[in-house]
Amino acid sequence: MIKKEPGVSFNLVSRHKLSNLSSDEKLNYILKEVKDGRILVLEHGLTSSEQTTLIEHTMKEIDHDTFIGIEMGGYGEEKTSFVQRVFGLIKKPRMTVIGPAHLLKMVHKSNDMIETTIIHGKGAK
Amino acid sequence: MGILDIFRRKKFSNVIQRIFGKKHAKIGIYGPPNVGKTTLANRILRDWTGDVMGSVSEIPHETRRAKWKTNIKIDNGGSSLMMDLVDTPGISTKIDFKEFMNTFGLTKEESRIRAKEATEGVIESIRWLEDIDGVVLVMDATQDPFTQVNVTIIGNLEARNLPILIAANKIDSENASPATLKSAFPQHPVVPISALTGYNTEKLYSKMVKRFGKKGSKRRR
């Protein structure tokens, strides 16, 4: 067993890992990790529908002493061309960072940059 | 009336609606907490019915249950929009009861209750998305508009092909920047307003009639 060092824990989650999960499994995985105090950087983020469901699940999980919610930032979904839409290709979500709100703070977000800060001293359990 | 008759009538009314536009729309007022959703709902109701929707406060999450009024008619020259208006609780990804205590001076008990009700309000807002025909998305023109909540709401509505009208509120504030908001979401119409003073709400009403009055307007940008 690897002994955990104190500090902030970041998990960089591959597109492959999430693509093998159903939407529900994906959201459960994300919420569990975030509740455990980890910041996740998803190579392929969530669709807007999944993000809305994640917010809904987060609200149900808020425990005002231990978990106040999430902070989330991602780039907009990739635009698809008319031809791609004709062939049934849908918009693809792009890289997204998600973490516990007591630990991760979104400073600024634009189309090209997501700026965050880590609140010191509150890393993963 | 037989079932077949009801079916025929329904089909017939659908055809009429497709040709002449939607006559009665359910419009949701959405946005993050404290952007002025209820102030706008009150403004719309006062202007068109003389009624009010709910109380407003500087403390976030004042509206914790969705409220609605039915059969509000907005006139715009020769055209009009008959709508049911839903004022939804602010959508947020986090709710910290300590913020109510430390920033707004509520007691611990008041803060905990408010926070608990606020989480339920967010869930209720999200569920209302299933049942509306269009959204007035209220944003605070003094704040950075490119928040994940705004992006998520817009993405969700686009995926459902629902018409969106962005109200850039608090334009009466000195540091308001509706241009920033317009450049952040160029794909949707943005109307700078002050729900508090009523500034430019005539333009908002005109846009609402155009945007939500016709079923075929869902994809119009």
CA distance B17 to chain A (A): 27
The 8-class DSSP code of residue B133 comes to S
CA distance A65 to chain B (A): 9
pLDDT exceeds 70 at position B216: no
Secondary structure (3-state) at B41: helix
C-alpha A49/C-alpha B181 separation (Å) is: 23
Q: What is the rounded average pLDDT of the residues B114-138?
A: 96
| pLDDT at site B76 | 87
Q: What is the rounded average pLDDT of the residues B166-186?
A: 92
- The residue among A62, A67, A82, A95 with the most chain B CBs within 10 A of its CB, best to mutate, is A62
User: Between these two residues, B206 and A109, which has the higher pLDDT value?
Assistant: B206
Q: What is the rounded average pLDDT of the residues A104-109?
A: 85
Q: What is the rounded average pLDDT of the residues B128-133?
A: 93
| pLDDT at site A9 | 81
User: Whole-number mean pLDDT of chain B?
Assistant: 87
- Chain A residues within 8 A (CB-CB) of chain B? 47-49, 51-52, 55-56, 58-60, 62, 64, 68-74, 76-77, 101-102, 106, 108-111
Least confident of A5-9, A115-119, B45-49: A5-9
Band (A79; pLDDT cuts 50, 70, 90): low
| pLDDT at site B99 | 92
Whether the model clears a pTM of 0.90, i.e. scores above it, the answer is: no
| pLDDT at site B183 | 87
Residue B15, exposed/middle/buried by CB under 10 A (0-12, 13-18, 19+)?
exposed
pLDDT exceeds 70 at position B15: no
Of chain A, the percentage scoring pLDDT greater than 90 comes to 51
Domains of chain B, each with CATH number or no CATH: 22-219 (3.40.50.300)
pLDDT exceeds 60 at position A75: yes
Band (A50; pLDDT cuts 50, 70, 90): very high
Q: How many CB atoms lie within 10 A of CB B42?
A: 20
pLDDT exceeds 80 at position A12: yes
* B97 contacts in chain A (CB < 8 Å): 64, 68
C-alpha A10/C-alpha A8 separation (Å) is: 7
B91 vs A55, A76, A109: nearest CB: A55
Size of interface A-B (CB pairs under 8 A): 85
Band (B6; pLDDT cuts 50, 70, 90): very low
Band (B23; pLDDT cuts 50, 70, 90): low
| pLDDT at site A83 | 65
Band (A124; pLDDT cuts 50, 70, 90): very low
C-alpha B93/C-alpha B96 separation (Å) is: 10
Q: What is the rounded average pLDDT of the residues B6-31?
A: 63
Q: What DSSP element (H or E) covers A108?
A: strand A104-109
* DSSP conformation letters of B147-213: -HHHHHHHHHHHHTT--EEEEEE-TTSTT--HHHHHHH-TTS-EEE--TTT-TTHHHHHHHHHHHHS
The 10s digit of each residue's pLDDT in B92-101 is 999 999 999 9
Structure tokens at B63: 């509206």
